[in-house]
Amino acid sequence: MKTGRDLAVKSATLIATTLGIGFLVGQVTRPGIETWFVFLEKPFFNPPNWLFAPVWSVLYVFMAIAAARVWSNTKSEVAVIRKALLFWWIQFALNTAWSFLFFGLKNPLLALVEIVLLELLIYETYLQFRKIDVVSAKLLIPYMIWVAFAAILNASIWWLN
C-alpha cells in the first residue's frame, strides 16, 4: 500500500463517484419506480422500497474502498492492478445499466439477463482483487450476496408478471 493519505484520497474519490452516480441513477429511474414498479406483482420476500437506498449506499462505499485499496497497492504489478480495476469499472457500469433496463425500459427479462452477467463480473472482480489485496476482495462479498438476492428478486418479478 502507498501512504494512508494516498488511500484516503483515492477512497474519497471513488466513494464520491459511486455514491454520486448511484444518486443520479436513482433520480433518473425514480419515475419508473413510482409509477410502473408499484403496480407489479412481487414475491413475499420483496424488501420495502425504503431499504434499497441505504443498502446500496453501504455497498457502494465498500466497493469504492475495495477499488481504492487495489488502486493504491504498490506490491503488485501495474498490469495486474489495471486488469482488476478494469473488471471493477465494467461491473460498476453493468450495475448502473441494470436500473435503466429494469425501471427505465421496464424490461425485467432483459434486466435479469444483465444481472446474471453482472454477478459473474462481480465474482471475476473478486478473484482479481484477491490476487492483489484479500481485504479488498472480502469487501466485495456483501455486494455479491446482495446482487445474487437482487437477481432472485428480479427473476421472481419477471415470473410473476
Mean pLDDT over each residue of the chain, to the nearest integer: 95
pLDDT in tens, 46-93: 999 999 999 999 999 999 999 999 999 988 899 999 999 999 999 999
Domain span at residue 78? 4-160
What nine digits make up the cell of 57? 449506499
pLDDT score of 1: 53
Q: What type of residue sits at position 102?
A: F
Local confidence band at 4 (pLDDT 50, 70, 90 cut-offs): confident
State the CATH number of the domain containing residue 74.
1.20.1260.100
Number of domains comprising the chain:
1
